[in-house]
Amino acid sequence: MLVIGLLLAASAAQAGGPWRASEENTRGWQLMTPQERIDHQARIRSFRTLEECRAYQQEHHPLMEQRARQRGVALPSGRRDICEHLKRPDAVGE
């Protein structure tokens, strides 16, 4: 089990983003289709700069707010900033 955990951690570090997007770190997770969740996670992992990540958030958050309004549900905020890891000076090119 320890080996698997270390491999997952190494994989996440190489991906440059969270190894698993979830409702804890994704605004509107419950309003996304399974395919959208997969695409979202892949996109988050592809960012190399804070600017790229913030630009995506500027698109994603209003879309999730719109869906929440249409469905008449409250949109909980994510508990973790998915762009936070890109604030480190050594984050680019990981």
Mean pLDDT, consecutive 10-residue segments, the chain of 94 residues? 44 49 83 94 90 93 94 82 77 50
Say if CB 82 and CB 30 are below 8 A apart: no
CA distance 21 to 94: 18
| Amino acid at site 16 | G
Say if CB 50 and CB 87 are below 8 A apart: yes
Alpha helices by DSSP H, listed for 1-94, are 2-15, 34-46, 50-71
**pTM for this model (two decimals):** 0.67
CA distance 86 to 64: 23
